[in-house]
Amino acid sequence: MSIKYVHKPETIQEAVELLYQYKGKGKIIAGGTDLVIEIKNRKTNFEALIDVSSIKEMSFIRIENGIVEIGGATTFTEIAKSKLLSSRLAGLKEAAHSIGSPQIRNKGTIGGNICNGSPAADTVPPLLALDAVAVVKSKHEEREVLVEELLLDKGKVALRDDELLVSVKFKNPSHKEILSFSKLGLRKALAISRICTSVFIEFDEEKICKEIRIANGSLGRFGMRERETEQFFKDKVLNEEVIEEGVNFMQQQVAKRLAGRSTVEFKSAAVKGVLRNALNNAINFNG
Ligand SMILES: Cc1cc2nc3c(=O)[nH]c(=O)nc-3n(C[C@H](O)[C@H](O)[C@H](O)COP(=O)(O)OP(=O)(O)OC[C@H]3O[C@@H](n4cnc5c(N)ncnc54)[C@H](O)[C@@H]3O)c2cc1C
């Protein structure tokens, strides 16, 4: 099917009306950094593009009542450069800054990063570690769903054809909490292999890790939380010895998950360094 129509709605309501009207044959485009490649490769089965990049109510970063909300069409550059997002959210800002090139960061959006469903989407692990929720809208309904629950499989997210990801929301970290990020390799190295890890930690006064959420990208069919490794670190002081034991634990988890794949040896070894970095970035945070 070839693309016959391109729409540029100015409001969310107009966009969801269009999605409804096309009954599965309308496709959202935001920055186009993934979709245009798909279209060039002729992997399309829709007749209309609905361009949400000019919808102002989808491009914002705000904090209200301790909740951070980022519009789905907010670009990586806006996130990376945001002065509103505190340095305690370094993990999200660094993830956005690590993406592609300046051109890609100027165009690519956080909504597109999630909805494209790539296992290597860099903003997904920080959002998982933040326990972020996505606000999703269709013509007749608005719902909130954990970003984690949106990720079904490689390239597959739990959004209906008529649904738009309007924003993502999460709790603003307190002075005891920190989100960090670490990434191995550049996109050019994607064919070889690439891993990114984000860690959210809440320390108590004794520097004990009261709460920890760890999420990885490129270590499965979609970005995922590492709950067994989280349990390993919880209620411990993260000294060098504990970190070493923990990264070895993670290595075994990854080796089990990727068993039989050609990348298992490289990835299970490499994840140790990436997790160690993310943990040290959180521990050594000086905000
Ligand atoms: C050279 C290059 C380098 C890159 N490097 C990286 C990298 O280092 N890390 C990384 O993570 N990614 C990278 N990417 C991938 C890409 O930039 C991201 O996935 C980007 O976030 C996609 O956002 P977009 O706005 O361009 O989405 P689009 O391409 O416009 O859309 C992608 C998909 O999401 C859907 N979609 C978009 N927005 C919404 C919404 N609000 N609601 C519902 N559905 C929506 C579209 O229908 C489409 O299916 C790179 C891409 C290129 C070309």
User: 112-122 pLDDT, tens per residue?
Assistant: 999 999 999 99
Please give the residue that has the higher pLDDT: either 273 or 42: 273
* Strand residue runs (E) in the chain: 5-7, 26-29, 48-51, 61-64, 67-71, 133-137, 142-146, 151-153, 156-157, 164-171, 177-184, 195-203, 209-217, 224-225
| 130-175 pLDDT tens trace | 999 999 999 999 999 999 999 999 999 999 999 999 999 999 999 9
Is 115 touching ligand 1 by the criterion CB < 6 Å? Answer: yes
d(CA 87, CA 151): 27
The pLDDT value given to residue 44:
78
d(CA 48, CA 66): 38
CB atoms within 10 A of CB 35: 19
- Res 266 pLDDT > 80: yes
The pLDDT value given to residue 191:
45
Q: Whose CA is nearest to atom 14 of ligand 1?
A: 100
d(CA 275, CA 271): 6
* Pocket test residue of 27, 29, 193 for ligand 1, highest count of atoms within 8 A of CB: 29
The pLDDT value given to residue 195:
94
pLDDT average, residue stretch 221-237: 97
The pLDDT value given to residue 189:
46
The pLDDT value given to residue 231:
98
Atom of ligand 1 nearest to the CA of 165: 42
Token reading at 14: 């107009």
pTM of the model: 0.97
pLDDT average, residue stretch 219-245: 97
pLDDT-derived band at 2, boundaries 50, 70, 90? confident
* Alpha carbon separation from 64 to 127, 131, 135, 172 (Å, rounded): 18, 17, 15, 9
| 175-225 pLDDT tens trace | 999 999 999 975 554 444 589 999 999 999 888 999 999 999 999 999 999
Token reading at 280: 């040290």
| 24-74 pLDDT tens trace | 999 999 999 999 999 998 777 899 999 999 999 999 999 999 999 999 999
- Res 273 pLDDT > 70: yes
Is 185 touching ligand 1 by the criterion CB < 6 Å? Answer: no
The answer to whether 201 and 177 are in contact (CB under 8 A) is: yes
* Alpha carbon separation from 102 to 28, 80, 105 (Å, rounded): 23, 11, 5
β-strands 5-7, 48-51: how paired?
Answer: parallel
Q: Whose CA is nearest to atom 8 of ligand 1?
A: 99
- CA nearest to 44, candidates 31, 30, 25, 17: 25
Is 162 touching ligand 1 by the criterion CB < 6 Å? Answer: no
Q: In the block, which residue shows the tokens 């800002």?
A: 93
Which of 7-11, 13-17, 35-39, 104-108 is predicted with the least confidence, judged by mean pLDDT? 35-39
* Alpha carbon separation from 150 to 4, 111, 127, 214, 233 (Å, rounded): 29, 12, 12, 18, 26
Element housing 253 (H / E): helix 240-257
d(CA 132, CA 124): 9
Distance, CA 252 to ligand 1 centroid (Å)? 31
- CA nearest to 170, candidates 279, 65, 73: 65
Q: In the block, which residue shows the tokens 């570690």?
A: 129
The pLDDT value given to residue 188:
52
